[in-house]
C-alpha cells in the first residue's frame, strides 16, 4: 500500500493488518512515534493525519491511505526545529522524554487551531497525553511560550 508520510510517498506491507504505529516503526524505521498503552489512552503514539492528532496505536495503517501523515520526524524543515520543538528545548521540559514526540505533535495541532492559547486551554487540549515523569507544569510553559512565538 502507498502511504504519504512526512511528504514522502512510501510503500508498506499491510497483509498482517498492522496498526499505523507498527507500520511506521517496524517498516519505515520512523521510531520517533512511541508505544505507550496500545489503546489510545496515553498519547505517546500521536501523529497528525490530515492535520488531526490521532493515536497511531489504534489506527489501522490501511485507514490512512490517501491521507497525509506527519510524524515527529517530519516537523523540522531544512534542519530548523518547529517552533514548538524549539520552545520545548528552551524550556528544557523533559526528564525521560519518552512522551515528548506525542506531546509535541499534539501541541502542534493545538497551536494550528489556536495559535495563542491560555494555560487552561493548553491543559484542556493536552489532557490525553501522559507524562509519567509528571513535568506537566514545564510542558504547559513550553507550549505557552511556543504560542507566544507563533501569535
Partner 1 sequence: MTKTKANPTLKAKSGISKSAVTNLSRRTFFKRMGVGVASCVMLSDIVMGEMLAADAADSLAAWIHVSDTGRITVFSGKAEVGQNIRTSLTQVLAEELFVSVDDIDLILSDTMRTPYDRGTTGSRTTPQMVPLLRRAAATVREILLETAAESWNLEKQSLDLERGTIAHPSNGKKLSYADLVSGKKLLRDVDSSAPLVPVEQWRIAGTSVPKINGRDFITGRHKYASDMTLPGMVYGKILRSPAVGAELIEIDTSEAERMPGVQVVKDGSFIGVTARDSSTAQVALALIQAKWRHSEQPSRSNLFEHLVSKSKNSPSPKNGVEKAFTQSSIQLEQEFLIDYIAHVPLEPRVGMAEWKGDKLTVWTGTQKPFGVQEDLSNEFGISKGNVRVIMPDTGSGYGGKHTAEAGVEAARLAKAVGKPVKVSWTREEEFKWAYLRPSGVIRVKCAGTDSGGLSSWEIYNFNSGGSGIESPYEVDTKHHQYISSDPPLRQGSYRALASTANTFAMESQMSDMADLLSMDSLDFRLKYLKNERLSNVLVAATEKFGWKRSKAPGSGYGLGCGTVKGGFVASCAEVEVDVATGEVSITRIVTAFECGAIINPRHLESQITGCVLQGLGGALFEAIEFEQGVVTNASLSSYRVPRFKDVPVIETVLVNRPDLPSAGSGETPIIGVAPAIRNAIADACGVKINRLPMLPDGRLPRV
Q: Is 5 in the site for partner 1 (CB under 8 A)?
A: no
Among 3, 5, 20, 25, binds partner 1 (CB under 8 A): 25
Which are the contacts of 56, defined by CB distance < 8 A and separation ≥ 6?
19, 20, 21, 24, 33, 45, 46, 47
CB closer to partner 1 out of 38 and 51: 38
Q: Is 51 in the site for partner 1 (CB under 8 A)?
A: no
CA quadruple 53, 151, 126, 29: dihedral sign: positive
Q: Which three cell numbers stand for residue 44?
A: 505517546
Q: Is 71 in the site for partner 1 (CB under 8 A)?
A: yes
- The H or E element spanning position 146 is helix 136-150
First to last CA, the chain: 39
Among 109, 130, 144, 147, binds partner 1 (CB under 8 A): 130
Residues that bind partner 1 in the complex, under the rule CB under 8 A: 16-19, 22, 25-27, 29-39, 41-42, 44, 71-73, 75-76, 81, 85, 88-89, 92-101, 104, 122-124, 126-127, 129-140
Amino acid at each position: 500500500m502507498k502511504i504519504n508520510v512526512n511528504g514522502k510517498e512510501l510503500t508498506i506491507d499491510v497483509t498482517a493488518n498492522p496498526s499505523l504505529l507498527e507500520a511506521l516503526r517496524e517498516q519505515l524505521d520512523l521510531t520517533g512515534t512511541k508505544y505507550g498503552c496500545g489503546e489510545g489512552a496515553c498519547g505517546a503514539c500521536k501523529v497528525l493525519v490530515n492535520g488531526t492528532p490521532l493515536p497511531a496505536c489504534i489506527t489501522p495503517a490501511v485507514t490512512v491511505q490517501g491521507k497525509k501523515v506527519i510524524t515527529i520526524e517530519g516537523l523540522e524543515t531544512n534542519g530548523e526545529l518547529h517552533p514548538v520543538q524549539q520552545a520545548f528545548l528552551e524550556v528544557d521540559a523533559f526528564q525521560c522524554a519518552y512522551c515528548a514526540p506525542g506531546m509535541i505533535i499534539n501541541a502542534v495541532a493545538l497551536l494550528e487551531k489556536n495559535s495563542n492559547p491560555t494555560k487552561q486551554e493548553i491543559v484542556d487540549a493536552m489532557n490525553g497525553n501522559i507524562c509519567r515523569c509528571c513535568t506537566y507544569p514545564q510542558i504547559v510553559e513550553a507550549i505557552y511560550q511556543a504560542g507566544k512565538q507563533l501569535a
